[in-house]
Amino acid sequence: MGINMNILYIYAHQEPASFNAALKTVAVETLEKAGHKVKVSDLYAMHFKPVLDAGDFLQRKKPDKLALFPEQINATKTGTFVPDIMEEMDKVKWADMLIFQFPIYFTGMPAIMKGWLDRVFAAGFAFDPITQGFYENGLLKGKKVMMTITTGADETVYSESGAHGDIHTLLRYITHCIFEYTGLEVLPSYIMFSVNSQSKEIGQQRLEKYGEILKSF
């Protein structure tokens, strides 16, 4: 077991009685029992706004035309993002590790979670296109990240020769183009296939395996 960490758990699922909800419960209980501090951003329960737009800024550098990167960089410097963004940024600053848990929708993450990334991993905060603050110089360098993922489809559908293709290739736009781009150290994902048709026994085995994975942190 490693040192105790501050862990931000970003969760996207609508149903409190779902298998995904059970995974989240196992995660929080396991991590806290191991001595880690955990904060949860339950995006659907929070009614988190996923749309990045002009309303994200309390004041604008150039109110006549929206240029997102300059406005985000300015808002990062001046602390003038709207409160929901500032609150999530404070959680990210606090965290040593981020865990993103979500079901696959159309081979990617749900829109509400992508919107969280669009709004919270802002220019000037998570990366800086002006100073080349990305990849090895990403502004979140020193933090770790992993994904916990469920699918409705069978594993063969997400194989290299399957209908959707290799799931790791599909997820690379997240692991490389978002996480590594912002400097995060990417840990292996925990992926569970066919959760909608799994037996209670398989579901329990997956919950126990998830707990064992998290105990290793």
180 touches 138 (CB < 8 A): yes
> Can 164 be counted among the known catalytic residues?
yes
- The candidate with the shortest Cα–Cα distance to 144, out of 210, 189, 79, is 189
Integer Cα distance of 79 and 70 in angstroms: 14
Q: Using alpha carbons only, what angle is made at residue 118 by residues 107 and 116, rounded to the nearest 5 degrees?
A: 80
| Selected catalytic residue, list 108, 135, 162, 164 | 164
Candidates 35, 152, 168, 176; catalytic one: 152
| Torsion, Cα of 74, 76, 80, 86 (10° steps) | 160
β-pair type (97-103, 144-150): parallel
Q: Per residue in 38-68, is it b (16+ CB within 10 Å) or e — as a string?
A: bebbbbeeeebbbebeeebbeebeeeeeeee
> Is 176 a known active-site residue?
no
Of the residues 11, 158, 190, 210, only one is catalytic, namely 158
Structure tokens, 190? 């925990």
Q: Which residues pair with 98 in a beta bridge?
A: 8, 145
Residues with catalytic roles: 152, 158, 164
